[in-house]
Structure 1
């Protein structure tokens, strides 16, 4: 009987839902009455949305009620229209936006804000800019587009710095979730699938109040694409000299309340030498087969499922697999290196009535480093695979955002995090450490929204270092076409497990952890001004970052029982204080007729206050220039882009890396859609002026570019 009643209630519910439906059909056009495809059309404060097809058409169904219908696309101004009844003849007209100021970002405050309306200074690199630059890797794209980020070349992976501070002080996120695992202490940036990136948000300066440890230098948040079309399939292929090959594929499916997004990317390279000589122990030049950029192959596969059972509730489950294998000459080493990772996550979001939401996110990241032997030695045979290090990360975040009237928006949350390290080198030790956190932030609007103030605070309980409080405050005052910003933030970084417990015996060095380490902390101050108009924007931002208890390696005396090959002992210690001062400048100008130009300049002065020496790997002057021309020929839309990177010499303790310039040209051509299929061929030249840093292998290089190279590309898209 109960079963029948439940079935009857379910059928009645479906019937009522079918009767009480609001149906919306229409078209989105531009000012020339041309249909605009790939426009996100959604009902605000609900999970209901879709995307326009190649003819600009859209269709939505929703329960009866009052809604705000919103249509948005990156290169157009967003439009909104009140809806209270079914409509089948809607025409939404979009006005083209030539700059990125209407881009919506989330990293600065943890809530959605237009770029020009964010009290926290954020830089957003859009999908359009990434496509124009046409670089398959995160590193190369940032070198071309973001002067505040610098990379010290390394055969196994780049050493990234943001405004003078290294990789370990930069929190790298993908859709708000930490990218775990590392290579030699540097985040493995090869795990970022560039074929599925919607935008990259860069928050400079301490952000510990929102994001916790590892955010002293800033936060980089990679936002992935989530299409709304019923079917959207893309294939992106790129081939260049030295066997540089990238193949990406994405499949997005949306059926009613269910959605699926699948993404895959393959990267490989034959590698190259900049020089075939190296310095031996006696300082003499000798021949080497070692590659400056090593031969490798990698695969990234990610899957996301979504379901929206009601117009207020959305749920997701996601995961990814990654592997990267370096193939090195047998004359150089006994083993190849293998990096493997898998992630898993699930969560949900519930929209509240008064401009708020509740969200829960849980995820894990599991990263392994192994060695595969290509030469036989005393401990291993050819083909043996030996695990060296395993890193695991578990995270849960419960967050609420509450609209408190017209002038306040309150964000509160609680987090739990567990870090695990297994190091199978000599000791085979396993360690883990947990921390919990509570955080709160208020977004306050005053003086008719001209003044915005965002105070926030985070309380952390760390298993090893107990209690820690990190406050922050940001403010922005707006005039017509101008924004003035200022902020202060306290930073906090707990020593990682390697620095606390790591014991490693290399060819010539033994490295020890130190359980007596203190957390690193910082005080970050910034102030800036921004001017914007319809076709021009310029901004200047100055900052001061003072970092205390910096953790570095310090040489300690050798002991009598050390093996003969060990010439050095290192131990992690709190040793120094540092002061980093700098200025960032950027501009963007649309000149008309499809021609635009932009660029930026970053000045950094970073000193060790104990010794007076410059911090290592710092490039004091860095700049970039981008010129882009887009032309619609009718059946073909062409885009031509020139970008340049200019960087001063970089300081190392034993030598300087050279100053350099890299200039690149890219071109892509979008053919008119044929039954929903779009072909987009392209070609380009990297390092036009053929700069090569050909110092002996093992030197401090300016760049690993092999010189002038040519590439071709092809993108194929299908949607309906």
Structure 2
């Protein structure tokens, strides 16, 4: 997603699968992109920074009568960087690694949106986007990478919206298709273990581009929202989702597919000016895992400057096609590892509950939320014994998707914002998360029946911001802290804190033209995690970097 096209980001915490689907077992991040609202608008953003970082973005919008168009293009390049010259190789710590913490890469995205408004009540839309990315890997004395990575994605969607007579209730119908391809771009000759149908092993040569996976997703969604008087809002809808995976060398039989059918309903009832109740459910039919009923209920009570909220929801998430069927061997963070799907996986489910207190008065607002989530049959990668065949291929560790015995997380979030004076504001947040699971069912394992931290979780996370503005100048100081990040294998990620300073200035502002600049320093105190390759890091930041961006926009507004 082109960052310059993002209008806002909405976050729904906790299980929300009744309204958003079975994947929303722990929350929803909804990214809303900008749509043209002017007769003509043209904008350009250019950003340069350390490590050959370059971001180039353009947006063109126009409207002509009933037709509205938004076109965007985005190109991003990074030269990559290396934070350590040490690497674990065949269980030995080696010096002189050429591996990069973040590899050199280039990507671009082109997207197009058309909206046609037939009349005040009926409109149609069409969207398309195309994305490509190249990742280049260095080769050294004992690092014999024979291929780089290449990605090609494309998305298409059409939609319709019809307003009913009350001009608030509406009906929408949307259909979308996405295809996501992943390739190896060979830079050297490789004799594989794959047998050619004509006999002998398959051999790849420099310049060959070989597809590893192709994923496709069709999604059809019909939704209606009815405003029943002033006190009731009813949302109902049906969905159909079809997922397809093609992977000649990673999936037995070369392909797999699955479909999901679902219907849902949600009622928002404003009982009094102070009390609001929301209840909903989703009924899901999954090709492999049958039917599932997922309810949700929440309430909000207002008293003075406080809002009190409480939520309970039941979540359901089926394994993905990759978790079920994909098997492959690759290099991730150094060692050669084997990854295996598991056709015997069960769907995971969750019981989530939360309670929060919101306070808002004048220029100050704050929220405190506590939550508890118990997950049954949580799906996670676990370490399993390496087969003799894989050891012959120099595989050092084997991971397989399994259902964990039990998993649970509980914690608390705190956020606040305070506009101290018109030119000065502060804000921030803190999260405490205790997420643990039982990773084994083997009685002879020393960790049998023990709760261990869930991979990549940390107990404490915090962020803060101080922003000062005066006329056409703004200065912001950002910071974030993360405590130790826990992992079952390859060591824990170190605790760290990163600070960033940004200065914004409006250089020119007229009725039709706007020119602005941003300059900043990221990772002010130059923290670098030097953990050797093959072990987990707390951060991949390259240390102190600088950046500069220029934004220019022309707009001829609607009369």
TM-score by shorter chain over 0.5 = yes
Normalized per residue, which structure has more strand?
2
On the 8 A contact 1:472/1:488 being kept in 2, the answer is yes
Per the alignment, residue 452 of structure 2 pairs with: 613
The answer as to 2:226 corresponding to 1:402 is yes
Change (3 A) 1:291 1:555: closer
Gapped regions of structure 1 (runs ≥ 5): 1-191
| 4+ residue runs over 3 A deviation | 505-512, 553-563, 566-571
The answer as to 2:146 corresponding to 1:334 is yes
Matched ranges for 1:654-665 at <5 A: 654-665=490-501
CA distance in 2: counterparts of 1:276 and 1:536, whole angstroms:
48
Per the alignment, residue 196 of structure 2 pairs with: none
The answer as to 2:305 corresponding to 1:481 is yes
On the 8 A contact 1:585/1:601 being kept in 2, the answer is yes
Change (3 A) 1:612 1:490: same
Give the TM-score, by structure 1 length: 0.71
The answer as to 2:291 corresponding to 1:504 is no
CA distance in 2: counterparts of 1:473 and 1:498, whole angstroms:
32
Change (3 A) 1:621 1:510: closer
SS of 1:383 mapped into structure 2: coil
Per the alignment, residue 159 of structure 2 pairs with: 347
How much has 1:555 moved relative to structure 2?
4.7
CA distance in 2: counterparts of 1:234 and 1:557, whole angstroms:
55
The answer as to 2:45 corresponding to 1:233 is no
CA distance in 2: counterparts of 1:533 and 1:352, whole angstroms:
37
How much has 1:594 moved relative to structure 2?
1.1
On the 8 A contact 1:269/1:295 being kept in 2, the answer is yes
The answer as to 2:338 corresponding to 1:514 is no
String of CA shifts for 1:51-87, please: whole Å, max 9, x gaps: xxxxxxxxxxxxxxxxxxxxxxxxxxxxxxxxxxxxx
How much has 1:306 moved relative to structure 2?
0.5
SS of 1:210 mapped into structure 2: helix
Of residues 568, 589, 601, the one that matches 2:430 is 601
Change (3 A) 1:658 1:687: same
Change (3 A) 1:236 1:364: same
Per the alignment, residue 539 of structure 1 pairs with: 367
Matched ranges for 1:135-154 at <5 A: none
String of CA shifts for 1:605-626, please: whole Å, max 9, x gaps: 1121542212121111111110
Change (3 A) 1:558 1:538: closer
How much has 1:213 moved relative to structure 2?
1.7
The answer as to 2:190 corresponding to 1:377 is yes
The answer as to 2:424 corresponding to 1:589 is no
CA distance in 2: counterparts of 1:300 and 1:418, whole angstroms:
25
How much has 1:569 moved relative to structure 2?
4.8
Per the alignment, residue 291 of structure 2 pairs with: 467
CA distance in 2: counterparts of 1:554 and 1:686, whole angstroms:
36
CA distance in 1: counterparts of 2:82 and 2:385, whole angstroms:
36
The answer as to 2:271 corresponding to 1:419 is no
Of residues 460, 464, 481, the one that matches 1:646 is 481
String of CA shifts for 1:674-699, please: whole Å, max 9, x gaps: 45111102211111111111122232
Per the alignment, residue 80 of structure 2 pairs with: 271
On the 8 A contact 2:404/2:437 being kept in 1, the answer is no
Change (3 A) 1:697 1:503: closer
String of CA shifts for 1:170-209, please: whole Å, max 9, x gaps: xxxxxxxxxxxxxxxxxxxxxx211111111111110110
SS of 1:500 mapped into structure 2: helix
Of residues 336, 352, 375, the one that matches 1:524 is 352
Per the alignment, residue 377 of structure 2 pairs with: 549
On the 8 A contact 2:36/2:69 being kept in 1, the answer is no
SS of 1:284 mapped into structure 2: strand
On the 8 A contact 1:422/1:428 being kept in 2, the answer is no
Q: Which deviates the most, 410-419 or 662-671?
A: 662-671
CA distance in 2: counterparts of 1:501 and 1:414, whole angstroms:
28
String of CA shifts for 1:507-546, please: whole Å, max 9, x gaps: 7544433322210000000000101123110110000011
The answer as to 2:178 corresponding to 1:365 is yes
How much has 1:660 moved relative to structure 2?
0.9
The two structures, once aligned, show a CA RMSD in angstroms of 1.6
SS of 2:19 mapped into structure 1: helix
CA distance in 2: counterparts of 1:414 and 1:558, whole angstroms:
44
String of CA shifts for 1:565-602, please: whole Å, max 9, x gaps: 24555443223211100100000000114111100000
CA distance in 1: counterparts of 2:228 and 2:264, whole angstroms:
17
Per the alignment, residue 678 of structure 1 pairs with: 514
Per the alignment, residue 715 of structure 1 pairs with: 551
Per the alignment, residue 468 of structure 2 pairs with: 629
SS of 1:657 mapped into structure 2: coil
SS of 2:101 mapped into structure 1: coil
The answer as to 2:256 corresponding to 1:431 is yes
Per the alignment, residue 67 of structure 1 pairs with: none
Matched ranges for 1:120-269 at <5 A: 192-269=1-78
On the 8 A contact 1:342/1:367 being kept in 2, the answer is yes
Give the TM-score, by structure 2 length: 0.91
Q: Which deviates the most, 691-700 or 399-408?
A: 691-700
Matched ranges for 1:39-78 at <5 A: none
- Number of residue pairs matched? 524
String of CA shifts for 1:203-233, please: whole Å, max 9, x gaps: 1110110111211111000011113111111
SS of 1:289 mapped into structure 2: coil
